[in-house]
Amino acid sequence: MEKIIELKDVCKTYFLGEIKLEVLKGITLEIKKQDFALILGPSGSGKSTLLNMVSCLDVPTTGEIILEGKDVSRFTEDELASVRGKKIGFVFQQFNLLTHLTALENVIIPTIFQETSKEKREKRAKQLLSSVGLEKRMHHRPAELSGGEKQRVAIARSLVNNPEIIVADEPTGNVDSKTGEIIMKILKDLNKEGRTVIVVTHDIDLQRFASKVLKIKDGELDE
């Protein structure tokens, strides 16, 4: 299978006044199309910064990031935003729902510019909400949902446009184990459909879902 993302000697350094903080120290890796890659590491290991690199949310201090043959580390912010919008779906630990809309309406929002009928877009949103166990809660507003339910709505919304690459940062971090299993199975099903999935986590139990495990420690890959 051909490579979809490649990092070449990627370093990321932050300067806090006179303090130099090296978060990533020469990361080289490749992720192939249809991989289910798990980036595993403890808090402070640099895994979230690495996620920002592979998902085009940030650019390295030095090194190259090659996405489908293009060096995106030299892209402008507008170019990066375009890549994210077309190629990458995000699933984050925190949710950000519009309080005046129902769960279903929140999930539908990213689809409004798609060239598909309202009926098809609504059907897709309902399927995703059902797959995360919210078939009976989709017409409720966020204030009427529990924290775990809100998070599952946010995850469904992130997946609704069927992105080619799915990047998930601690997707099971704020949910119970049963809901976490549902979330991971959704990601696994999307991977089986042909999508590349990248999950960043500290949870070693999630390795069972992955076809590729990358361990990071102190800003370096731990082989």
Q: pLDDT tens across 101-140, in order? A: 999 999 998 887 777 788 999 999 999 999 888 999 999 9
Ramachandran assignment for 63, one of left (phi > 0), alpha (psi -120 to 50 degrees), beta (any other): left
162 pLDDT higher than 80: no
State the amino acid at position 198 in one-letter form: I
Backbone angles phi, psi at 146, to 5 degrees: -75, 170
pLDDT of residue 29: 95
Q: pLDDT tens across 195-219, in order? A: 999 999 999 999 999 999 999 999 9
Sorted by sequence, the CB contacts under 8 Å of residue 71 that are 6+ apart come out as 64, 65
Sorted by sequence, the CB contacts under 8 Å of residue 215 that are 6+ apart come out as 40, 41, 221, 222, 223
In the chain, the percentage of residues whose pLDDT exceeds 70 is 99
Given pLDDT bands bounded at 50, 70 and 90, which one contains residue 180?
confident
Given pLDDT bands bounded at 50, 70 and 90, which one contains residue 5?
very high
Alpha-carbon 55 to chain mean position: 8
Dihedral (CA of 111, 115, 118, 119) sign: negative
Task: Write down the architecture of domain 3-221 according to CATH.
Answer: 3-Layer(aba) Sandwich (3.40)
Residue whose pair of structure tokens reads 């459909």 in the numeric block: 193
pLDDT of residue 219: 94
pLDDT of residue 50: 94
| β-pair partners for 166 | 89, 197
Other Cβ atoms closer than 10 A to 209: 16
Given pLDDT bands bounded at 50, 70 and 90, which one contains residue 141?
very high
Size of the chain in residues: 223
The pTM score is: 0.84
Q: What is the mean pLDDT of the chain?
A: 89
Measured CA distances, 192 to 27, 36, 119, 132, 201 (Å) = 28, 9, 25, 17, 20
Given pLDDT bands bounded at 50, 70 and 90, which one contains residue 72?
very high
Q: pLDDT tens across 35-68, in order? A: 999 999 998 899 999 999 999 999 999 999 999 9
Given pLDDT bands bounded at 50, 70 and 90, which one contains residue 223?
low
| For residues 167-195, average pLDDT | 86
